[in-house]
Chain A
């Protein structure tokens, strides 16, 4: 999947920064199963083709419906410069069952270290 453009931006009430991404194809439900490798996914499968919310605490959240071409991504502002590329990468590297998880996990680990240092000084 490719992010075609970011269609809307706003600062949310909780201080996070929201971007709405327009994708080049509808999001399959399997994308959200894939996201569960990197955080927590909650689903309301009975609503339409399924509503999903992915949470990666301290990084970002993604919410949307399976079958839609737009998703809403909310970044924690303090580390947005560190995590945004990883969010983009999750979309671009997703290829259903063929996705290379090990490469993504390595990348996640590298970013996680920088996020921890920034937020918690570890």
Chain B
């Protein structure tokens, strides 16, 4: 199958305008006759649902949380990028485009990335109008700061709650539409199946997580804005409920998955402290503006970090990457930390952490200044660890965080199933093999506020003539039966191991064999082990409780999907015989441990097609064409 990204003609800077000028429209009188389902109420989902309802479409919005405001967008602390050039420091759309495409190690589409940068400025306008309380300078103008991987100051922020505040803006816009009767929100509902009729997405099957009721919902288009799947590693920065089920079940219905193994490990997270742990809390990357990262020079140093004298400390980021230092991009910083930890220089009780040290910044700027910038992060650190980071270095470690991979989408954010769109982290589109800090909130918002409101109507314009599908269609009954059969199966297995047990086993396996670094050997082993784990899951799983409110039953479905997705991640990593961005294959590195990309053979986006249970999936390739940037070795030295 030939993948057509449908990139508009014209010069890079004119493509999006060309698209908008020629996109088809739907007559305002017809819009309310068209139903759109939006799954997920994070920044991408809430902004898309609200924007489409504002245009007059009938929107149904779904989330598994108890209210639409809880989605994991809330956890993004540091900021959102926009090429406003308010600092007069040489920023512009092209530079932002270039930083992002280089940050992604030249594995994303030029046209998509340019559009992301192009729409960034408008997002700040939108958020401010909604009442998002961004940081201000004393003159009343918007303030911003620097983030990893760039040399300008383009990150807008609302203290350490940028994601929360942006989401509240989108959530409030959604609630406004609900009050006007244009959106109906279904909270505590989980999508468990996509309904495809005559090759087009026509609805979903959901489970009401309170009554246990399996429900059918029909629509003219379905939008998945269900976030990333970093929780596949069990220990991650993600919320406990984050899952891959919506996109994975769409994948099994024919939507291709791309860049599946491109998962970002965030360098500044709290290290694991024991087997009981459920979560690795993220500490904002903004801390790296003032914190210096180091480990003891001597492996196995048993001293408390603050007792180790200056000359015995190795500031390895400043040493290896003098140009960017502590603000080197995430993939590079995480890998450098792993390299030192593996060399035996890790600190902390489990020797699995590095130091993030503020002593120099406190000496130079004073404790009050540091407090003003980061007090919420320092107090969070103290709440979790009981340690005062003003007096001794924080201990940090890389953790699974963001999935650059996701459903393959074309320029219109439409998957390989017509009528099925994927927005935000759920798609693969803009970040290539590594995402820059503060680009995640941006992409989610741009997809939802500015792109989908053009591309979905363009699709719907032809749907107005199509026959109206109702939930009486046999495809709905078939999908519903599949869902019911699976739930019954989980409840019946009657083994002795919990869903969490399998999730933890899978997570550990993936951390070791398909994590920050991978090799042919480790990946082949992982594939075999995942197959065994999956077989055991269907034999030894134990789910207690009934078919109503049952968090164990919810987890079982998600883990079942992870056990298939995890295997595909390994295949994706195995077939990509190069190192790029977050994907570091041990066989492809320089003598001093830097990634070696192979543009000759691997300058493409992988797109996997589901071929059936226990059958190897088929790899399709979308070649990446670069007309505006030169592919260079990504150096931050």
Asked if A and B are interacting partners, one says no
B interface residues (Cβ-Cβ under 8 A, vs A): none
A interface residues (Cβ-Cβ under 8 A, vs B): none
